Amino acid sequence: MQQDSPNLSYIKELSDGDAEFEANLIAILKKELPKEKEAFTESVRLKNYLNSAEHVHKIKHKISILGLEKSYDFAIAFEEELKNEDPKRYETFLSILQKMEEFLTTI
């Protein structure tokens, strides 16, 4: 899968110039994403794929907020695969999460 790059376009659109709103939303992403990633990886490790799919469902909204359209489409498909107990694209999803975390540390 060709990955896209995180950006703040959607956040800036939502905020309509409200810097405090932007900062608050970014702070929420920085706080929640690592915890959700950890919960997701643990559920995959335990082979609880239905629970893993639920974590992907939550995370995909953050993917969207960071402007990752291709990654969002991937997450939708991956969530369905996990519901069918198919985690084969786990590493690809982890790379998306890693890219998001790296981006969030730079802003």
Q: Does 70 score more than 70 pLDDT?
A: yes
Position 54 scores a pLDDT of: 98
What does each C-alpha distance from 76 to 19, 22, 37, 49 come to in angstroms? 30, 26, 16, 14
Whole-number pLDDT of residue 3: 72
Q: Is the pLDDT of residue 66 over 80?
A: yes
> What's this model's pTM, rounded to 2 decimal places?
0.92
pLDDT digits (tens, 9 = 90+) for 80-94: 999 999 999 999 999
